Amino acid sequence: MPATMMASIHDRMPVILHREDYERWLSPEPDPDDLMKPFPASQMKMWPIGRKVGSPKNDTPDILDEIDPDLEP
């Protein structure tokens, strides 16, 4: 289930970890399922980006630049 912020984009979302949990997530621990919870929206930022992010041939940093969604073809 997505965090409230992400629900407008998709009905699923990846796990986002706090830095202090990286090592534990990558450890051989069998099931750190308590880490699989919505990341606080107050610690995220969201902006519209263009459709070119969907193709691996577009491998430049500008694919993450903010766009005006009303001008997107």
Whole-prediction pTM: 0.63
Q: Which residues contact 49 (CB under 8 A, 6 or more apart)?
A: 63, 64, 65, 66, 67
Q: What percent of the chain has pLDDT over 70?
A: 96
- pLDDT tens for each residue of 32-57: 889 988 888 888 888 999 989 999 99
Residue 26 has pLDDT above 70, yes or no: yes
Cα separation, 66 vs 46, in Å, equals: 9
